[in-house]
Amino acid sequence: MKLTTQYLGLELAHPFMPGASPLADTMDSVRRLEDAGASAIVMRSLFEEQILQERFGASGFVFGPDRYLDQLRHIKTSVSVPVIASINGTSTEGWLKYARLIQKAQADALELNFYHLATDPAEDAASVEDRLLDIVAVLKESITIPLAVKLSPFYSSLPNLAARLDSIGAQGIVLFNRFYQADINPDELDTVATLHLSTSNDLLLRLRWLAILSASYRGSLAITGGVHEPIDAVKAIMAGADAVQMVSALLQNGAQHLAVIREGFERWGDEHGYESIDDMRGSMSLAHVAQPHASERRNYLRILQSWKQVASSRR
């Protein structure tokens, strides 16, 4: 089965790569990822807060901005696959100048991780989207390397937002950033911040929106979150993914698990008669449904009725 593909205009040997995370923090781990066959290296995000705190002489982050750029340069000179940098921010402050420095450091592409939780009742949905679009517009004016936007699923109309991102030049969308939720300690009247790694159960939300967006979005689509087994990767490609990013599965099982996913995916494709990944991609997209809205309603009702099977299986 032919696995070569394109993502953000980059020619890749296959779609499987690490997602933005500590996985690329050391050169040893980067080399392990390359040895495992990663088609690209995605660096952890450089946060807006890191840059602004550095400006005022305080930083508790793993990488300051200068160290981040140094790590990017080291990775670029050490691997033969594309390197994708990442910025996490929610404003149009001067920190965006670092996008130019990231491009100067020879990143092959940039991922904007837009993580913004609307808590102000005076900020309407349009304002939240405009904030994102303003940042993307500024980034597109600042750099010429491909730009992907990493979104949350909490927009009122993702297809419309995707179309607007496409119209201002974003070459790709990554679905989705993790919505980390703090618990409550009732005795201490405090919040408890605990990181829970993803499981294959997290895949369903991403598959749904991949299938919807791949029917109309013209750019590249990547999935991150929920791919732990080869069959998860098969589902992601069928829904329309151009790239499959993994973090939790690699943190739990090591970089070599990337090779397990790729080899298992290829074996499944061969066994089911697929000659190339292009034959598989988008086969479960909403583009193949005559009446998308009616189909969504049917699936909704069918899932509701499945409670009977769930209940009987637990007896």
Whether 202 and 302 map to the same domain: the answer is no
Range of the domain at 22: 5-284
* Predicted local distance difference test score (pLDDT) of residue 289: 79
Whether 146 and 259 map to the same domain: the answer is yes
Whether 303 and 266 map to the same domain: the answer is no
Whether 246 and 294 map to the same domain: the answer is no
Q: Find the CATH number of the domain harbouring 134.
A: 3.20.20.70
Q: Give the total number of structural domains in the chain.
A: 2
| Predicted TM-score (pTM) of this structure | 0.92
Q: Mean pLDDT, to the nearest integer, of 48-74?
A: 78
Q: Any idea how long the chain is?
A: 315
CA 109 to chain centre: 13
Whether 253 and 301 map to the same domain: the answer is no
In DSSP notation, the chain reads -B--EEETTEEESSSEEE-SSGGGSSHHHHHHHHHTT-SSEEEEEEEHHHHHHHHTT---SSS-HHHHHHHHHHHHHH-SS-EEEEEE-SS-SGGGHHHHHHHHTT-SEEEEE-------TTS-HHHHHHHHHHHHHHHHHH--S-EEEEE-S--TTHHHHHHHHHHTT--EEEE-------EEETTTTEEE-------GGGHHHHHHHHHHHTTT--SEEEEESS--SHHHHHHHHHHT-SEEEESHHHHHH-TTHHHHHHHHHHHHHHHTT-SBHHHHTTTTSGGG-SSHHHHHHHHHHHHHHTHHHHHHHT-
Whether 311 and 266 map to the same domain: the answer is no
Whether 209 and 61 map to the same domain: the answer is yes
Whether 161 and 294 map to the same domain: the answer is no
Whether 295 and 256 map to the same domain: the answer is no
User: What is the pLDDT of the chain when averaged over all its residues?
Assistant: 92
* Predicted local distance difference test score (pLDDT) of residue 20: 96
pLDDT digits (tens, 9 = 90+) for 196-220: 899 999 999 999 999 999 999 999 9
Whether 151 and 9 map to the same domain: the answer is yes
Whether 111 and 129 map to the same domain: the answer is yes
Instruction: Tell whether the model's pLDDT for residue 49 goes beyond 90.
Output: no
**55 pLDDT tier (thresholds 50, 70, 90):** low
Whether 273 and 301 map to the same domain: the answer is no
